[in-house]
Amino acid sequence: MKNTHFTTKTILIIAFLYSFYTSAQQNDTKNFNWEGDTHYCTIDKNSITCNTKETATVFISRNDTAEITWEFNINFPETNEGQSFLYIYPIINGYSDLDQYQKIKIIQVNQNKSVSFENSSEMIFKENSISIHINLDTNNKWFITVNNNEFEGFNEKSKYNTTKGFAMTFKNMKNVTVSDIKIKSSNSEENENNPDEPEPENPDEPEPENPDENEGSKGLKYGDIVISEVMANPKNCPGYPEIEYIEIYNRTESEINLNGWEIRYGESCYNIPYTLIKPQQYKILSHEKYAEEWEKAGIDNRIDMERFPVLANSGKQLFLNDASDKLIAYTFYNDTRYNNTAKSNGGFSLERIDNDNLNDSRHNWSASDSPLGGTPGIENSIKGKCDIKEPASFLYYEITLPDTIIMYFNSPLDATSATDPNNYHIADNFTDIKTVTIDSIYLSTVTITTAENIKEDETIYLQPQNIMQADFSSVMFPETISISVPHKPETGDIVFNEILFDSDSETCEFVEIYNNTEKHLELGNLVFSVLDENGEYGKTSFLCSSNRVMEPKSYIAFTSDTIKLKKRWNCNIWNVALCSLPALRNDGGVITLLNRNTEEIDAAVFTSSIYPKTGKGSKGVSSEKVNPTYTSSNPANWLPATAQKNYGTPGKINSQFKSNSLIIEKGKFTLQEDFITPNQDGQNDYATINYSFDNGGYIANIKVYSSDGREVAYPVKRETLASYGSIIWDGKDSDGNYLKPGIYILLIEAHNEKGNSVKQKIAIAVN
């Protein structure tokens, strides 16, 4: 997902504020969710100040269809370098693609400012403060005034309805403040007349007998209700209608009111209508348009929702939040949890085995055993005991300001332990932790500010401890997280190190990179691209959506299926990254790593020719570089991963790794081993030729001669050398066959453009 407002430098701020809640009490606190990450703005009661010159977006979601009014003042600094923009979107479906929505555009150039709406004429003004009033009626029309003047062209009808969100995007608007924010819904205005008797959102539904004691959120905690079943792919379901549903189960001894609760799926929220769920009761959530079909099937333990997500067959995160926005249940369902290939293809639900195990362990889920394909609204067919718990994990971090570290996790955390500064120790007391906050939506992003700025080229070592996930089980971390202000990678700083391009049913394609420097490097704006048949860059795939930091001498494996990768090779999750890789041909090709200016950081040749013509071949076997420092574009520097390491080492040191014992004397080539045994047993399978020069740029040729003087191989032809490094010879002749045992001579010639040359003969034994 890319657009002009959300580049990798974009700061997404989905405005959460308790202060906003309190400032809007006379307005509307019932029908709004202010959510998200406010670090890049200063929040003071009912105002927000942008603190960055980068693009920053504030997003607000709504929950009702009533008429709504937004009022606020915009206060500009006296001077602002360059051209500045503020975009206001009165109605949006979500923040992911703002370009599609109608917007108010405010431009500031020094003291001159202008306001325009889509293609309307501009209003020019010089004041440092303007007042905006936006009214959205129930017919999806908005009426907008600026400084109490209705502006021509602002009386428009939106193509989206008023249940959606509101957004502001700041561009080069540092120190601009949106103040005196007032938000009113006609629902809240009507209810102000009698606050003790709130009007229910659906008057046709009966009110609870004692709403004050049954608000659906008081005293509840994570796990009181669990997500117990997910039907994501109902195609060919043997016994029930082919309808997607989510089942929940009340584990408590009390009846719970779900009014105001919501399901969160991806970036969208889906409101649950007024419903009571009894103790130990199951209920399914499904779209209301399928109510009649469920009735015919005899399923009445259900909640018919006006809006219901389209569930991805492959899986996604599901959140259940109560009326106070507290996380109550969570699962990351996915198709690997079926444990049954046939059932994962459709017609069967995923069921939770043990509803009392609140950990989202994959071992606690499996395909339904019911011959009907699922158990909607009743006890699960695979109900049993499961004590296995899987810890949540730290993923990666980025630095957005010199004093700000954002840490990402793969599942929701316990907010209390995650925001305790005492749980984050910085070695050697380099600086103190100033604040720790957590995002209020998914509880999986922690923002840490330090008392002092982290200076460039200085490293601090962070040691988190005692942090728990939402179910109070443990969270995995590296022993120490090395943190420093990252550099932009240059050519050769990051290199390819391992590629699996021909996957089988138990594996997935992946591309591993290695930080070949002692620097911390930023991965934002880097892309993978595979060369097409004409040698041109093909479709690009961004490595990550954030500016992830890669630590020195570290590995990261990129794949479209992190779950399968981790299951196969049990790699640390912080050495793995989710990425939509470009298609990798099974017969080989060239993959490149590019920066935003399409400058090449590295390029690797992957080919099936490195695999023995007998044996396992390339299917499900990764291609490993012998040493990360060796040239990626030379196929001779790559070998198949060994069986001892399960044919792959994503995120780890390669199974074929050989240390680089470089010579000290300049202008020489040295053979690292006196003999080779190219029988693919993982021991001395290839020859390593080390070299060292004062400068790079030498062009090398290497020929191999038999003891009787015949040329039998020409493994290196006009290869450009770095100032130091190694060349690999795999022991094959010019026809690709392994040489017979004997003594052979390597004739090595190298020269540079200055006329300097080197010529050596080195003997090697093939056993």
CATH code at 426? 2.60.40.1220
Q: pLDDT grade, residue 620 (50/70/90)?
A: very high
Taking 50 as the threshold, does the pLDDT of residue 189 lie above it? no
Report the distance separating Cα 558 and Cα 541, nearest Å: 11
Q: Quick one: pLDDT at residue 494?
A: 96
Residue 759, C-beta contacts closer than 8 angstroms, at least 6 positions apart: 747, 748, 749, 750
619 and 688 share one domain: no
86 and 46 share one domain: yes
Segment 110-131 mean pLDDT: 73
Report the distance separating Cα 364 and Cα 352, nearest Å: 6
Residue 444 covered by a domain: yes
Higher pLDDT: 683 or 337? It is 337
Query: Which pLDDT tens digit goes with each residue over 462-477?
Result: 999 999 999 999 999 9
48 and 186 share one domain: yes
Mean pLDDT, the chain, rounded, equals: 83
Q: Quick one: pLDDT at residue 473?
A: 92
| Single residue among 483, 517, 550 that ends a domain in this structure | 483
Q: Quick one: pLDDT at residue 617?
A: 86
268 and 282 share one domain: yes
CATH of the domain at 57: 2.60.120
Which H/E stretch holds residue 20? helix 18-23
Nearest to 651 by CA among 490, 450, 510, 519: 510
Report the distance separating Cα 631 and Cα 321, nearest Å: 51
Query: Which pLDDT tens digit goes with each residue over 352-384?
Result: 999 999 999 999 999 999 999 999 999 999 999
Residue 375 covered by a domain: no
764 and 728 share one domain: yes
Residue 372 covered by a domain: no
423 and 572 share one domain: no
Taking 50 as the threshold, does the pLDDT of residue 409 lie above it? yes
CB 501 within 8 A of CB 640: no
Q: Quick one: pLDDT at residue 404?
A: 94
Domain count, the chain: 5
Segment 622-638 mean pLDDT: 89
Q: Quick one: pLDDT at residue 195?
A: 35
Report the distance separating Cα 283 and Cα 299, nearest Å: 10
Segment 669-691 mean pLDDT: 82
Provide the β-strand partners of residue 331.
318
230 and 179 share one domain: no
Q: pLDDT grade, residue 107 (50/70/90)?
A: confident
Q: pLDDT grade, residue 37 (50/70/90)?
A: very low
Taking 80 as the threshold, does the pLDDT of residue 693 lie above it? yes
Tokens of 76: 């500009």
**Which of 321-335, 522-536, 576-590, 651-665 is the least confident region?**
651-665
Residue 335 covered by a domain: yes
**Most confident by average pLDDT, 18-22, 133-137, 349-353, 666-670:** 349-353
Query: Which pLDDT tens digit goes with each residue over 238-297?
Result: 999 999 999 999 999 999 999 989 999 987 889 999 999 999 999 999 999 999 999 999
Residue 6 covered by a domain: no
Q: Quick one: pLDDT at residue 347?
A: 97
Q: pLDDT grade, residue 80 (50/70/90)?
A: low
Which H/E stretch holds residue 713? strand 711-720
Q: What is the DSSP string of 34-47?
A: --S--TTEEEETTE
Segment 661-684 mean pLDDT: 77
Higher pLDDT: 65 or 215? It is 65
CB 650 within 8 A of CB 641: no
Q: Quick one: pLDDT at residue 72?
A: 85
Nearest to 259 by CA among 248, 275, 244, 247: 275
704 and 630 share one domain: no
Segment 22-45 mean pLDDT: 47
440 and 511 share one domain: no
Taking 90 as the threshold, does the pLDDT of residue 120 lie above it? no
Q: pLDDT grade, residue 156 (50/70/90)?
A: low
Q: Phi/psi at 745 (nearest 5 deg)?
A: -115, 130
Q: Quick one: pLDDT at residue 685?
A: 81
Q: Is 387 helix (H, G, I), strand (E, B) or coil?
A: coil
Work out the angle at residue 96's Cα, subtended by the Cα atoms of residues 27 and 28, and round it to the nearest 5 degrees.
5
Q: pLDDT grade, residue 555 (50/70/90)?
A: very high
Residue 3 covered by a domain: no
Q: pLDDT grade, residue 31 (50/70/90)?
A: very low
Taking 90 as the threshold, does the pLDDT of residue 201 lie above it? no
**Which of 209-218, 555-564, 612-621, 738-747 is the least confident region?**
209-218
Segment 173-200 mean pLDDT: 59
Q: pLDDT grade, residue 198 (50/70/90)?
A: very low
Query: Which pLDDT tens digit goes with each residue over 230-243?
Result: 999 999 999 999 99
Taking 60 as the threshold, does the pLDDT of residue 663 lie above it? no
Q: Quick one: pLDDT at residue 521?
A: 97
Q: pLDDT grade, residue 429 (50/70/90)?
A: confident
Percent of the chain with pLDDT over 90: 50
Residue 360 domain boundaries: 217-367
Segment 755-763 mean pLDDT: 92
Taking 60 as the threshold, does the pLDDT of residue 614 lie above it? no
| Single residue among 614, 633, 657 that ends a domain in this structure | 657
Q: pLDDT grade, residue 66 (50/70/90)?
A: low
Segment 587-601 mean pLDDT: 92
48 and 182 share one domain: yes
Taking 70 as the threshold, does the pLDDT of residue 615 lie above it? no
| Distances in whole angstroms, Cα of residue 160 to Cα of each of 20, 30, 69, 156 | 25, 22, 16, 12
| Distances in whole angstroms, Cα of residue 275 to Cα of each of 142, 571, 629 | 33, 43, 62
Q: Quick one: pLDDT at residue 7?
A: 36
Higher pLDDT: 337 or 188? It is 337
Segment 531-555 mean pLDDT: 91
Taking 70 as the threshold, does the pLDDT of residue 96 lie above it? no
Residue 212 covered by a domain: no
Percent of the chain with pLDDT over 70: 82
**Which of 550-559, 568-577, 731-740 is the least confident region?**
731-740
CATH of the domain at 583: 2.60.40.1260
Q: Quick one: pLDDT at residue 4?
A: 37
Query: Which pLDDT tens digit goes with each residue over 443-463?
Result: 999 999 999 999 888 999 999
Report the distance separating Cα 166 and Cα 160, nearest Å: 11
What's at 378, amino acid-wise?
A: I
Taking 50 as the threshold, does the pLDDT of residue 203 lie above it? no
CB 359 within 8 A of CB 334: no
Residue 128 covered by a domain: yes
Q: pLDDT grade, residue 151 (50/70/90)?
A: low
Q: Quick one: pLDDT at residue 103?
A: 81
| Distances in whole angstroms, Cα of residue 297 to Cα of each of 88, 279, 725, 743 | 48, 24, 70, 80
267 and 142 share one domain: no
Q: Quick one: pLDDT at residue 3?
A: 38
Q: Quick one: pLDDT at residue 94?
A: 59
Segment 142-150 mean pLDDT: 75
Taking 80 as the threshold, does the pLDDT of residue 590 lie above it? yes
| Single residue among 425, 460, 483 that ends a domain in this structure | 483
Q: pLDDT grade, residue 5 (50/70/90)?
A: very low
169 and 225 share one domain: no
